[in-house]
């Protein structure tokens, strides 16, 4: 029996959902419909899911009865074929399911019954082929994971994704807030012990995985550089310690191969004054040979070069810069001569580098973006801030950190410890933001969209993890174990993209980030829900952001941040009863930080977990309540 229905777009009732939520059906899908109201002329109001449509009936039906239909056609009008029914309100679901399985000739397995029960309860449109494929997937899922698997299958049906194990794993990983650390470690171990992967490919992927695992490498490398430079320029240090430091800097490509303790002052002065001269228009370049100042450079030229370096140096405070420039200007007005000029240039150079190093140790994240990093570019004789130069500098810093960490020299080990301590002390919101950006660049999560960018740097994009793994998967010589691990990793990176989406003006964005700070692992999942403005940009005045965190010390923690007209309310869910006392001292910093970017903090709440729903949303009970019903309010 065929029941032609009028188009859901052409004739929705007043109770229909928003057009942006319009149900889109395709041939072969099974849908559940209920006769809501009968009209003359054998027409009726039929509800399918959350939508009501006017249907033309070929046979009489009874209001209140429900049917299972199969979509037999969508053009020129929607046509539904009854496959089971009518089902009255009093009929048990078990009877409905048995009749449906017989009508659709479905296997009566435990997995199919569980799947059909879920599909019937949630009114999910699925084809017979889709049901069979989903049942096969369920058979390979442990009983403890069935709930997550069913939710993943529902999401796959909504997104019209093929019912594959890779897609299901990816969505389960996001919905269960499963972190990426374990899958990263598994891939790394496989690569290190697999002989089917070429050495160049293996090294490239392992290097990228290291960037993901250590997002603070640049900041820590800057701090290590600052620490060893301070040691090198400290005359109180032993000759043996300073010699080991010179060797370390040479091995990392930061100082020229010919550098020694004896010619270090000349090397530093030569590199800096040569670079400074190149930056000044109309000033002759200095010719540097074997680290010695060229005889063609006059004392005034050397001082003018240093002046250019100081003026461009962002790693100095205003008072430090003014003091150095005052000294240099005085010397330019009355220039020294001979060996005295060389000695003065060397002293100013070393003082400049030492000041920059000390400032970087005090604020290593500032050095990451400009301070000692730009100084390092100068020392390398590269200058500028081009992408190529930035890549070279990042490579040198990473090499320096790696060599310093593996060094057995006590002074160098001590320098690494002090550098890590300075970075740990300086970690703030900006630092975490930079770490997350580093991880996303290294992972290449948005690899496909980045390729479509107007000024896409294809070479640098290809160095991220996702395209590297895609190339690895296509390699016919790679072992099945490595290929499967790479496919699983790519699938997990696609999971947040699949679960992100839009519903009219409402948007949801999901991100998963594996963080590691000095051996402490943090798995973070972020869900942003908000709306888009007419110009296509995110409306920053209204949003809800959920942070699901698995922290080293605090274990599972959820932060619920709600923004209404730029007024922010934060709720922290955690089972630790001491968390309120920990949070109180920093609430002022939170308020100040929000006000600095145009937001107002309404209040901060601390609540305990009571239970978790299948979707992972916390159901909580309030542990700490004052007379106003909040923990603390600003």
- Model pLDDT for residues 117-127, shown as the tens digit of each residue: 888 788 787 88
Mean pLDDT of the chain: 75
- If one compares 193 and 18, the residue with the highest pLDDT of the two is 193
The C-alpha atoms of residue 556 and residue 553 are separated, in whole angstroms, by 9
Cα diameter, the chain = 112
> Residue 145 — very low, low, confident or very high, per pLDDT cuts 50/70/90?
confident
The C-alpha atoms of residue 65 and residue 57 are separated, in whole angstroms, by 14
Distances from the Cα of 358 to the Cα of 63, 77, 236, 271, 376, angstroms:
81, 75, 16, 20, 14
Answer for the pair 263, 291: CB distance below 8 angstroms, yes or no. yes
- 3-state DSSP assignment of residue 2: strand
The C-alpha atoms of residue 212 and residue 464 are separated, in whole angstroms, by 10
What does the pLDDT average to over 171-192?
86
Answer for the pair 259, 246: CB distance below 8 angstroms, yes or no. yes
Answer for the pair 131, 119: CB distance below 8 angstroms, yes or no. yes
pTM for the model = 0.64
- If one compares 10 and 432, the residue with the highest pLDDT of the two is 432
Answer for the pair 181, 523: CB distance below 8 angstroms, yes or no. yes
Condensed to tens digits (0 to 9), the pLDDT of residues 542-571 reads 999 999 888 877 888 999 999 999 999 999
Condensed to tens digits (0 to 9), the pLDDT of residues 313-366 reads 766 778 888 888 888 888 888 887 777 777 887 888 888 777 877 777 777 775
Please state which of the ranges 207-211, 215-219, 226-230, 619-623 shows the lowest mean pLDDT. 619-623
Long-range Cβ contact pairs of 586-591 (< 8 A, separation 24 or more): 587/632, 587/634, 591/634
């Amino acid at each position: 029996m065929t029941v032609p229905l009028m188009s859901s777009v052409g004739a929705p009732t007043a109770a229909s959902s928003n057009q942006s939520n319009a149900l889109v059906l395709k041939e072969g899908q099974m849908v559940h419909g209920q006769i809501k109201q009968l009209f003359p002329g054998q027409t009726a109001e039929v509800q399918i899911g959350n939508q009501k449509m006017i249907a033309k009936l070929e046979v009489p039906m009874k209001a209140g009865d429900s049917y299972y239909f199969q979509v037999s056609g969508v053009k020129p009008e929607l046509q539904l074929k009854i496959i089971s029914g009518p089902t009255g309100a009093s009929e048990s679901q078990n009877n409905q399911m048995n009749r449906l399985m017989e009508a659709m000739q479905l296997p009566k397995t435990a997995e199919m019954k569980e799947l059909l029960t879920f599909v019937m309860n949630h009114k999910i449109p699925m084809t017979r082929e889709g049901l069979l494929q989903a049942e096969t997937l369920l058979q390979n899922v442990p009983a403890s994971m069935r709930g997550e698997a069913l939710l993943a299958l529902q999401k796959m049906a909504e997104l019209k994704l093929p019912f594959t194990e890779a897609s299901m794993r990816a969505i389960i990983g996001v919905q269960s807030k499963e972190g990426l650390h374990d899958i990263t470690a598994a891939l790394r171990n496989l690569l290190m012990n697999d002989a089917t992967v070429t050495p160049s490919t293996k090294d490239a992927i392992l290097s990228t995985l290291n960037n993901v695992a250590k997002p603070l490498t640049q900041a820590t490398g800057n701090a290590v550089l600052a620490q060893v430079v301070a040691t090198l320029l400290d005359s109180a240090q032993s000759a043996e310690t300073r010699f080991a430091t010179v060797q370390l800097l040479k091995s990392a490509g930061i100082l020229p191969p010919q550098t020694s303790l004896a010619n270090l002052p000349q090397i530093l002065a030569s590199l800096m004054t040569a670079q400074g001269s190149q930056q000044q228009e109309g000033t002759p370049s200095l010719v540097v040979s074997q680290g010695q100042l060229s005889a063609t450079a006059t004392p005034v030229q050397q001082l003018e070069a240093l002046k250019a370096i100081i003026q461009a140096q962002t790693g100095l405070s205003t008072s430090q810069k003014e003091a150095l420039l005052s000294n240099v200007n005085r010397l330019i007005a009355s220039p020294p001569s001979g060996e005295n000029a060389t000695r003065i240039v060397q002293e100013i150079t070393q003082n400049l580098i030492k000041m920059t190093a000390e400032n970087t140790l005090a604020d290593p994240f500032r050095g990451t973006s400009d301070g000692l990093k730009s100084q390092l570019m100068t020392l390398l004789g590269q200058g500028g801030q081009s992408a190529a130069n930035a890549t070279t500098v990042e490579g040198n810093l990473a090499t320096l950190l790696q060599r310093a960490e593996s060094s057995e020299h006590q002074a160098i080990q001590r320098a690494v410890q002090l550098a890590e301590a300075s970075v740990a002390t300086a970690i703030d919101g900006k630092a975490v933001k930079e770490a997350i950006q580093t991880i996303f660049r290294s992972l290449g999560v948005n690899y496909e969209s980045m390729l479509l960018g107007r000024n896409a740097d294809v070479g640098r994009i290809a160095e991220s993890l996702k395209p590297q793994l895609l190339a690895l998967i296509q390699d016919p010589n790679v072992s099945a174990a490595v290929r499967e691990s790479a496919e699983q990793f790519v699938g997990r990176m696609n999971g947040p993209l699949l679960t992100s989406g839009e519903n009219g003006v409402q948007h949801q964005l999901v991100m998963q980030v594996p963080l590691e700070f000095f051996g402490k692992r943090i798995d973070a999942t972020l869900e942003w829900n908000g709306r888009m403005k007419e110009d296509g940009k995110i409306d920053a005045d209204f949003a809800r952001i959920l942070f699901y965190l698995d922290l080293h010390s605090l274990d599972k923690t959820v932060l619920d941040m709600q923004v209404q007209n730029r007024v922010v309310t934060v709720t922290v869910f955690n089972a630790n009863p001491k968390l309120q006392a920990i949070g109180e001292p920093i609430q002022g910093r939170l308020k100040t930080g929000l006000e600095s970017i145009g937001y107002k903090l309404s209040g901060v709440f601390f609540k305990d977990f009571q239970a978790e729903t299948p979707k992972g949303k916390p159901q909580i009970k309030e542990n700490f309540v004052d007379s106003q019903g909040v923990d603390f309010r600003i």
